[in-house]
Structure formats: structure tokens, C-alpha cells
Chains A and B, each alone.
Chain A
Amino acid sequence: MLVLDALRVRYGPLEALHGVSLTFAQGEVTAVLGRNGAGKSTLLRAVAGYLRASSGRIHWQGSDITRAPVRRRADAGVMLIPDEGGVFRTLTVRENLDLFAAGRELTPALDAFPDLRTLSRRRVTLLSGGEQQMLALSRALLAPWRLLLVDELSHGLAPVLATRLYDVLAALAAAHPDRAVVLAEPDPREALALADRVHVLRRGELAATGSPADFDPATL
């Protein structure tokens, strides 16, 4: 479904991904683990089209999207929920949801996160980090996607809240077995529980691949 072939990405003179080849299968939840600076976010941003690959190929559903702009990848069903900046901060919650839904019903998001209903007229800048993250995740509930890339969903969140967001994500993945979900996480516990397949990045290279059972959260 999504095939990365010797993908290299550089920021100016520094190369962050040194030729990563990976395959993400349909209907699977894949966790990409690794420490800070391992290249997880770079990988996701390159797939979503925010970073240009300096060499290598990205194939999505059989077509080469290595040079495609963000908008074309989004139309093809690729959705990135970044660890920060996944919401429009100067707009209200309602306006954000309207933009995400693009004319569709808002109920899926409002049902999953009832808090957003009461906050609907508030500016996003005034929300807490958890509320902002809920809003960002709502995008996946409102608009159709075929490949969901989630970057550090638990970034800076209280464990209770992180668990809640992961529950929503798990339900979402279970409801659509024909789609693919990729999670990038430095903290393996939640991701291991959710994932069907695990890749570990270390210093911009693929260090290990396996099923969640192969990995012990304590040693990662």
C-alpha cells in the first residue's frame, strides 16, 4: 500500500533519514518507534509531503508520489496529524471543525469528544494542550482518509488523556479495516498495545522490525 524505497531526507547540510525502506500494509496499525531525533517525524512529514525527499521513492497505492505536493497527497487520502500545529490557533474550535469537515457532519467528532461541544466558540489559543490535541485528532474523525499518520499523539499530555485519545484512535482503526494507520511514538507502551507491526528507527536508519510481541517495552 505505502512503500518507501531507500528514502533520504535532509535539512540543509544535515541528513535526517539515511535511506529507509519500509512497507506499510493495508488494514494494519504500524508503530514507528525511536528516540527523539531518530527521524520519526521526518519520516511522517516526508510521506505527507511537507519535506522533500533528497533521494529514494515513495509509492502510495501503486502510484509514485515522491514529488507530489501536499494537496495532491491529501486528496489521495494521506492525512498527517502533527505533534503540534495540527490546529488553526487563531480560529475558534467550531471554525477548525468546519474546515476539517469541509461540509460534512460534525457529529462524529463531537460525539467522540463531548468537551469540544462546550468549547465550540472558544479560540484555540485559549485551549489546553489536551483539548488542542483532541481537536487535532477530530480531523481524522471528520474527513475521509486512507492512510493516517499520527505524530506523537501523547506529546506532552497527561497519561489519562493520552489513553483516551488512543482509545478513540483504536476504535477508528478497528472501524476501518481497509485503511492504514502509522503511529510515531518515543514512548512505546500505548503504541505497542495498539500496533500490529513495529518498526524501530535509530539515528535515521531502520534498526528493527517485528510484531509487538517481539519487543519488550522495558528494553526499547
Chain B
Amino acid sequence: MFYAGLALNGLAIGCVAALAAVGLLATYRVTGVFNIAFGSNAVFCAYVMWQCVRVWHLPLAVAALLVLGIVAPGVGLVLERFVYRPLRRSGASGLLVATLGVLVLQLGLVFLLWGGRSYVDAPSLLPAGSVRLPGSLTLPYATIVELCVVALIAVLLTFLLRATRVGLMVRAVVDDRDLASALVPADRLAAGGWAFGSFLAGVAGVLWAPIYHLDPYSLTLTVLETMGVAVLARLTSLPIAVVAALAIGIGQTELTAVHPAARWQGLVDAFHTNLFVLVLFAALMVVPRLGIRDSGAAGGGLHRQGARRTSRVDHISRLPLGALSLVLALPLFFDPADLRASLAVPALAVVFVSLVVATGYAGQISLGQAGYAGLGALFMAKLAGAGVPWLLALFLGPLLVVPLGWLTGYPAIHRRGLYLALTTFATAAVVARFVFAQPVFVGALVVSRPRGFTDDHWFYALELACLLLALLLVRSLHTGPMGRALVAMRDSETAAVSAGIDVRRMKVFVFACAAGLAGLGGALTTSAAQAFNPTDFDPVQGLVWFAAVAVWGVDSALGAVVGAAALVAVDVGTVSGVSSLLIGIGAVLLGRFPGGIGAAVRRAGDWAVRPVERPLTRRLSPAGRAVARAAAARARERPVS
């Protein structure tokens, strides 16, 4: 069944998605970077636009000129100069973390400047009204304008890149910036590319904001979800991206006309509202390879080179552990309000530690830990509701997440770098949209703590015990043959395979472990708050967590615990947005300080306890030399027995 009226509505949605997808692809074509921060860039520009029109009361045209002509390209120029240019020789992982950092930074900025409030009165640049078509159908002018903008960008970009000399130079810079820098003004071309990409993000944001709510998280997520279209186009074909976006938009509205039996209606509704997420997930499963140079080591470049403490932990690294346990025990003596806030620390720390296992030890980038954490919480609540003793449910729930991690680990076997990151992110997005957002699943949950743990002191102590358990598990994964195998896999999969390590099983195992740990962290988070809060497990939150762990040293479990404590402390002690801003700045700078804060501390520690240097050659008196010579001669004469 096909309804023309619905199709026209779908066309409007598809247009908007096509705009974001084309922007994303165009940015990739002119900069060589798959810009995950495209969404946050769009949101930032949309907020500036709102500020100009609704607060400063500038005329719409002036505001549009200011935002699209100055602010958006300016942001691109600044990012190119201070973030991407210093990273031009780093691999896919370094750029991925940098773009994530920019995303988190821009979100933090939006939270800081506008308090993260969402607005429904975003100014619209598009004309109101619509064209009447035969058969009592109407086509809004806005859709026509959007279609024209999409077509214009696609055609213009294709022409520029294919047929002009500047386009050729831009492609040369994207291909090999070192070589290009000897032939063309590479820095200026790259800056121009980023300005253009950022301009497109601005256009997308300004056009999107009036259609959706102007809201930092949901709008960023909506833009991120259109990445499915870009993946379908294998990041290369603009026409495929446009057609796919329009088709999904139309499919989405056509599905609203499907009315199956009442019990399936909820599922169909979930389908049509979240078709883009599904397409992102399906596209990542089906499309074998992106048209992208992504051959770098899976998590390479995130950890400090030469950080190989897989042997027994020596007494020096026990020192910070002791100090840390003292600090973590401190909240037990806080006043009740502060203790209540501190409850989030061990829970978050467990989630962070799960990221250290997946990304730090095994080199598998995972942006989807938020999904596992939420599932752990959900399972625990369901079990508790079904009559399982709470303490048992607390561990049984996360255990149920392990098979899911096992299952989602399979796609990771052949994926790496950006592709793996997108796949894990899509998993979290699917879980968020189809589970956490469905009242069927999250309604009527039992999340209150049982007797004995209603007192925050006891619960905090329990959380610390769980964290200790997690750290012990992680240590067993990091030391001995297992730890060496994981590190070998992280450094070079090929070498690991040829050394007889079963890389496939290892990867799946690591994902399962990380999922279980994240589930435990999620269960603790929910129990601490005594409420299942879907925003705690928002996929975008997962991106922030990943960036935070990367900043604190992705292969440092202690760093992760400290990072969790710092994140909660900053969140509680300052206005919202500061923590994101700090994490973002840290992640952006990570390319210059590989290994993050953890590695810096370890380097300082190594320096402080370095062995006292002794002169290598001992000076001998002439008599001493004679004795040494005689001893050596005797040693030579002695027959080998």
C-alpha cells in the first residue's frame, strides 16, 4: 500500500536527512576526516542562530548571514588550525578521538552557554505555505527549498572536485598532505575544506532546528543517526546518499499507515519512528567495507607506546592504589547530601573500567558501553521485580548482559577503527531507541534498594566492594598470558594471529567481559539513584564516557577510577557543561599527549623512582687493570668442562 500524501510528508523528512548526509559526505571528501562532530557542530550553530534572533533580536537575514557566513566557517577554521592540523599524521584512531573530543567540547559549550535547555521557537529560514498539487495533495515550500539546497550542494561539490583545478588540489591534500604541501598551499586548502564542511554543518543545523526541537542531545543524536545513509553510500557516492535518505524518509511515513494486530502495533510504531537508527545498524552489518582508508591498528595511538606493564604489579604501582582506596573511602564520612552524590562514583568507575578492558587492553574501540550499562540495570530491575533477591539480581542482571556482549562482539571480529566505533555506537543507539524508550520494557521497574542497603553508607560500601571485584577481574585480564595476548592483539592483529593467538575468540571474549562490567556499573547507577533514568544511558553519554576514559589514559584502570571520581566531582561542584568542556579539551589535546593523564603520571612515576645512575665503566688503577687482565686470561685458559 502506498499513500502519495504520506510520501510527500516523508519527502520532507528525507530531505532533512539527505542534507545532513550530504554534509557529512562532503566534509569527508574535502577534509578526509569522517566528522563525528558534524552533529554537535550543527547544534552549536543552531543555538547561535537562536541566540541572535530570539535574544538579540537581529533580523533573520542578518542572523543567517552572521551564523552561516562567519560563525560556522570560523569554527571550522579554528578546529583545523588547533585540532586537526597537529594531527595530520596520526592514524584513524587519533582522528576519531579528536572528532569525539570536538563533539563533547561543543556539547559542553552548548550546556555552558545555554544551560542545555531545549527550545521550540528556533527561527526558521524557510518560507511557510505550500504548493497545491492535483489530488488535494500539498507540498510545503520548505521541502522544495531543502531539496534544492541538497541538489545544489551535491552538484556543486561534484563539479568542484571533479572538474576544477582547486578541486584537484583539495583531493591531493586529502590524499597525502605531506606530499601535497610541497606542491600546493596545503594548509590553506585544508583550512578551506574545514570551513566549507563546518558551513554545511551550520546549514544543516539551522534548517533542522525548527523542524525538531532545539535540544543538545537529541538533535546531535538525530544527526548522528543519519550516518546510516552515509554508510550506505560507502562514504563515497553523493547520489546514493541522497536517494537513500529520501527513500528512508518516505518509508518512515508510509509505515505509519501500517496497522497490524494490536499487539504488534507498538513494534511497528517503534520501527517507523526509528527507521534511521535501524538503517544505520543494518547498513553497518551489511556494507562490507567503507570507502575509507582505515587500516590503522584497531585502538592504536590511544595508548602510550611502550606501556607494557603486563607482568606482575610491582610495589611502585601499589602506591597509587593505596592512596586511591583511601580517597574512595572518604565519602563514607561526608554529610548525607555529598555522600548521595558520591554514590555515582564507583558505579561510573565500573563502567569506565569496562572501557579500559575493551579499548585499552584489547584495542577494540567501543562507543556502545552506555547500551550495555542500561541493559544491566534493566535486567537487574526485572529480576528483582520477579522476586529474585536483590543482591543476587545485582550480579545476575549484568551476567545476563554477557551473552549480549558476546553476540555483539561477533561483528567486531572483522571491523576496526572507525567502522568498529560506528558499529558499537549503532548497537547502543538501537538498544536505546527500541528498549530504553519503550514503556513496555521500562515500565513498572523495581529499582528501590532492599532493607539493609537503604542507608547510603552501606550501599556505598557495597559499591566499593563491587568496584574492587571489577578491578581484580580486570587485573587478571591484564596480567599473565591473557594480558600479553590481549596486548599483542592490540598492537598487531596479524602478528597475534601468527603467534597462535585465537584473535576471533579473544575479541568476542573481551566484548563479553566489557559488556558484563558495564552492566554491573549500570545496575549500580540505577540502584544508587533508585530510579531507571534512560538519559543516564543515552548513546551520546557513551561518547562522553569514551572520551573521558581516553583522556585519563585508556589503558589505565586506576586512571579510569580517578576519571570517574573527577567527572562526578566536577559535575556536582560546577554548572553542567564544565565537565564535558574539560573532557573535550583533553580529548582534543590527546593527539599531542598519547596515553593521556594516566601515561603522564606513570612517566612521572618512572622518572621519580628511576634507578640511580652509576658510572658504567669502573675506573681501575694500573695495578687493578693488571689483575683484571690476569683473571680474564685464566678464565680463557681454563678448559671447558
| Across-interface contacts of B175 in A (CB, < 8 A) | 88-91
| Interface status of A189 (Cβ within 8 A of chain B) | no
Stretch at the interface among B134-142, B164-172, B339-347, B563-571: B164-172
Known: A89-B175, A90-B175, A91-B175. A102 touches B183 (CB 8 A): yes
Residues in B neighbouring A73, C-beta threshold 8 A: 182
| A85, CB-defined interface residue at 8 Å | yes
Q: In the assembled complex, which residues on chain B have CB atoms less than 8 Å from the CB atom of A80?
A: 182
Distance, CA A173 to CA B168, complexed state (A): 30
Do the beta carbons of A71 and B178 come within 8 Å of each other? no
29 contacts between A and B (CB under 8 A): A48-B182, A50-B178, A69-B181, A70-B181, A70-B182, A71-B181, A71-B185, A80-B182, A85-B176, A86-B179, A87-B179, A88-B171, A88-B172, A88-B176, A88-B179, A89-B175, A90-B174, A90-B175, A91-B171, A91-B172, A91-B175, A95-B168, A95-B171, A95-B172, A98-B168, A99-B168, A99-B183, A99-B184, A100-B183
Please tell me if A168 contacts chain B, counting CB pairs below 8 Å.
no
Min CB gap A110→B, angstroms: 18
Residue total for A at the interface (Cβ-Cβ under 8 A): 22
* Proximity bits, A67-99, B CB within 8 Å = 1, else 0: 001110110000110100111111100010011
Flag if B178 contacts A99 (CB, 8 Å). no
- B180 pairs with A88, CB closer than 8 A: yes
Provide the residues of chain A in CB contact with B181, threshold 8 Å: 69-71, 74
- Chain B residues, Cβ within 8 Å of A79: 182
Query: Which residues from A are CB-within-8-Å of B182?
Result: 48, 70-71, 73-74, 79-80
The reply on B186 being an interface residue by CB < 8 A is yes
A178 smallest CB distance to B (angstroms) = 21
Per DSSP, chain B at the interface is: helix
Q: Can you name the residue of chain A whose Cβ is closest to the Cβ of B188?
A: A71
Would you call A85 and B179 a contact (CB within 8 A)?
A: yes
Tell me, in angstroms, the Cα distance from A81 to B250 when the chains sit together: 53
B 176-225 contacts with A by CB, 8 A: 176, 178-187
Give B333 Cβ to nearest chain A Cβ, in Å. Answer: 44
Report the bound CA distance from A59 to B125 in whole Å: 57
A88 to B174 Cα, complex, angstroms: 9
Q: How far is the CA of A33 from the CA of B370 in the complex (A)?
A: 56
Interchain residue pairs A-B with the least CB separation, the first 7: A74-B182, A88-B175, A70-B181, A90-B175, A88-B172, A70-B182, A99-B172
A74/B183 in contact, CB under 8 A:
yes
Q: Which residues of A contact B174 (CB under 8 A)?
A: 90
Chain B residues, Cβ within 8 Å of A50: 178
Seen from chain A, the residues whose Cβ lies within 8 Å of a Cβ on chain B are 48, 50, 69-71, 73-74, 79-80, 82, 85-91, 95, 98-100, 102
Alpha-carbon separation in the docked complex, A98 to B169 (Å): 10
Q: Interface residues, chain B, CB within 8 Å of chain A? A: 168-169, 171-172, 174-176, 178-187
Q: Determine how close the nearest CB of chain A comes to the CB of B237; give it in whole angstroms.
A: 15
CA–CA, A148 and B359, complex, Å: 44
Q: Which residues of A contact B180 (CB under 8 A)?
A: 88, 99
Q: Which of A48, A71, A82 contacts B186 (CB 8 A)?
A: A71
Residues on B with C-beta less than 8 A from A91 are 168, 171-172, 175
Min CB gap A200→B, angstroms: 28
**Residue numbers in A under 8 Å from B171 (CB-CB):** 88, 90-91, 95
Hey, which chain B residues are within 8 Å of A86, CB to CB?
Answer: 179
**Complex alpha-carbon distance, A85 and B180, angstroms:** 11
Closest to B168 in A: A95
Q: How far is the CB of B170 from chain A (nearest CB, A)?
A: 11
Cα A98 to Cα B181 in complex, Å, equals 15
Nearest A residue (CB) for B169: A99
Measured CB to CB, the closest approach of chain A to B111, in angstroms, equals: 37
Cα A197 to Cα B306 with chains together (Å) = 41
Residue of A nearest to B176 (CB): A88
Q: Write the chain A residue with the least CB distance to B183.
A: A99
The answer for the CA separation of A73 and B181 in the assembled complex, in Å, is 10
A99 to B179, CA, bound (A): 11
In the complex, A50→B186 CA distance in Å? 14
B90 to chain A, nearest CB (A): 14
**Chain B nearest CB: distance from A67 CB in Å?**
15
CA of A69 to CA of B177, assembled, Å = 13
> In the bound complex, what is the Cα–Cα distance between A151 and B573 (angstroms)?
57
Q: Which residues of A contact B183 (CB under 8 A)?
A: 74, 99-100, 102
**A23 to B185 CA separation, bound complex (whole angstroms):** 30
Given A85-B179, A88-B176, A90-B175, 14 additional A-B pairs, CB 8 A: A69-B181, A70-B178, A71-B182, A74-B182, A82-B179, A86-B179, A87-B179, A88-B175, A90-B171, A90-B174, A91-B168, A91-B172, A99-B169, A99-B184
CA distance A95 to B175 in the complex (A): 12
Which chain A positions have C-beta within 8 A of B179?
82, 85-88
CB of A89 within 8 A of CB of B176, answer yes
Least CB distance from B555 to A in Å reads 19
Bound CA span A73–B183, Å? 11
A100 to chain B, nearest CB (A): 7
| Distance to closest chain B CB from A68 (angstroms) | 12
Chain B neighbourhood of A100, CB < 8 A: 183
